[in-house]
Every structure is written in C-alpha cells, then in structure tokens.
C-alpha cells in the first residue's frame, strides 16, 4: 500500500477556453471539477491503475466536504483529518495548445494542534505502508520545523519516504534522508540556486541533492521528459504528447507510475513517463487509466547526452 499525504488539498475546477484574453468575458468550451492536491492525485492515479493507496487529507468547510464526497465517489481510500479552516479551491484555465493558467488559493491555516493530528494519522498509517509520499505545498500555519520533524520520524521508523514539494520543504525532505525526491525543473533549480539549461546541469543538480541526503532524485522536465539519478547511475527518458490538453497533475501521475513500476530502473522510469504523458492528454486533472497508457512512445536511455539543451 502507498500512503499519500497532501497537507494542502483542494477542490480543482478546470475550464477549457479558446484563447485566454485578459479583461474579456470568455465562454468555457468545457469544464471539469476534480479532487485536487498533488498527493491526492497520486492516490487517484494509483487507484485508477489497480494499485492500493490511502490518502491522508486535512479537510474543512463546505469545500472540504465536497472534496471528501468526490474522493469517496472515485473509491479513494482516505484518512480525512478535520480542521477548522476551509479547504481551498483552485482554478485552471486551459487553452487548446496546452497552455495552462492556474490560480491557486493559499489554503487554510493549520494550527500546531491540527498539524500534530495530521502527523499522528500519518505515522500510525505508515506502519503498514510500502511508501509514504508527502506531496505539495505546506499550508499556512505550521512551521518548517514541524514538517521536518514528521519527515525525520518517518525515516527513523524505516519508512520509505518520497517527497514531492518545493523550496524549504523539498530541502527538508532531502536532509531527512528521504528515499526519493521528485522536483520539477523549476524546483530543482531553486533548490541548488542555479539555472538548468542542459541535461548535464540537471544530472549535476540531482547529484547535489543526493549528496545532501536524498537516496534518489526523479526530476520531471516537462516536454524534455525526466531524469533519474540513483545508486545505479543516470537514466533519462521522454514520452512525446501529440495533442496536449492539460499539464495539471502530470507530474503527480508520473510519480505514481514510477512507484507502481518498482521505483527504480528503466522499467519504473518508463512507467512513470507513460503515466505522465497520458495525464497531459486528458482534460483538467483527470488521472489516466490502463486504457490511456501508451508505453510504445517512451524512450529511456542509460547513457544520456549531457550536453543536450533543454527547451526554454
């Protein structure tokens, strides 16, 4: 079982528009409303492909009730921890060429007591989990020390911990000794304080995170695919998408596929890339099912061209 932790979940509404024109009244060609939050998406993707998962989510207000109802309707196993604040709502505007504009609320403030309740639920459930995956932004309220303490307790208990976050939270996961971290290109560049313009830059940056304590680094690079750096060496892969519809949740689907595929080696990277590409081909934050996956478009190489430049 894979336990996911989304500290700042959301209700996500996606609207498809022809062209996003600032200041104009636009009519949506289509709309979708889905459960949101990176860890929630990982659980949804795993469930859609027959992999057991439980999602830990703090929820509050009418939006929190709506989130719980949607997850139940999808059959997601969850541990909902009640909080006083209101679960946030996010809006995605998707254009036909794949351009996505997101408007994310900050989310509710979690008190120290509420964060302690969430941590207790995670630590209890982790005892029967193969992986614990902490994803997304930290909610307002609890300090970084509380998040770091949770990561350290999980690692000390022998839990295989994966962290998909940004900024100080990502670095806290690295320092705690997470078995896997999954930054995107921007998050990885922020973590090392330098731009990434080539595959070699990405590999070097991943190596720095490993030197800081992370066991493996899976860097998602958008249209440039992904790079995996672990004890076995360096892998790079790509999976082109002919008709992109929405990138929302694509990195989450990639992480889910990577874990479902064994979390190491070419087979896992292939699975992750196939799941991520399938998510890009779907509207809103829909997660792919087995019928959406096309592994024949995935290319993985053991000897990537480190000089290859990344798309701007």
| Cβ atoms of residues 136 and 159 within 8 Å | no
CA dihedral in degrees (284, 289, 291, 296; nearest 10)?
A: 90
For residue 122, the tally of other CB atoms under 10 A from its CB is: 23
Q: Which residues are catalytic?
A: 252
Distances (CA, A) of 159 to 54, 151, 251: 15, 10, 23
Residues 48, 253: contact at Cβ < 8 Å? no
């Amino acid at each position: 079982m894979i336990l996911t932790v989304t500290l700042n979940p959301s209700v996500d509404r996606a609207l498809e528009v022809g062209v996003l024109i600032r200041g104009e009244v636009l009519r949506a060609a289509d709309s979708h409303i889905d459960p949101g939050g990176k860890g929630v998406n990982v659980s949804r993707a795993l469930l859609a492909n027959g992999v057991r998962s439980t999602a830990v989510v703090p929820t509050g207000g009418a939006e929190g009730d709506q989130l719980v109802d949607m997850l139940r309707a999808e059959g997601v196993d969850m541990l909902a921890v009640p909080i006083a604040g209101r679960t946030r709502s996010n809006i995605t505007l998707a254009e036909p060429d794949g351009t996505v504009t997101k408007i994310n609320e900050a989310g509710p403030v979690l008190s120290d007591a509420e964060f302690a309740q969430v941590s207790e639920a995670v630590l209890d459930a982790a005892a029967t989990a193969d992986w614990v995956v902490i994803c997304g932004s930290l909610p307002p309220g609890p300090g970084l020390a509380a998040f770091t303490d949770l990561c350290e307790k999980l690692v000390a208990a022998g839990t295989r911990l994966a962290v998909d976050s940004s900024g100080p939270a990502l670095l806290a996961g690295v320092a705690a000794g997470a078995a896997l971290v999954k930054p995107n290109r921007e998050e990885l560049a922020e973590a090392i304080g330098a731009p990434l313009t080539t595959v070699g830059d990405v590999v070097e940056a991943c190596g720095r995170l490993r030197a800081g304590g992370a066991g493996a680094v899976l860097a998602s690079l958008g249209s440039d695919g992904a790079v995996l750096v672990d004890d076995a060496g360096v892998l790079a892969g790509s999976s082109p998408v002919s008709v992109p519809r929405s990138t929302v949740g694509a990195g989450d689907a990639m992480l889910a596929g990577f874990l479902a595929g064994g979390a190491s080696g070419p087979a896992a990277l292939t699975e992750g890339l196939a799941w991520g590409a399938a998510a890009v081909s779907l509207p809103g934050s829909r997660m792919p099912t087995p019928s959406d996956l096309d592994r024949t478009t995935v290319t993985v190489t053991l000897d990537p061209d480190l000089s290859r430049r990344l798309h701007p």
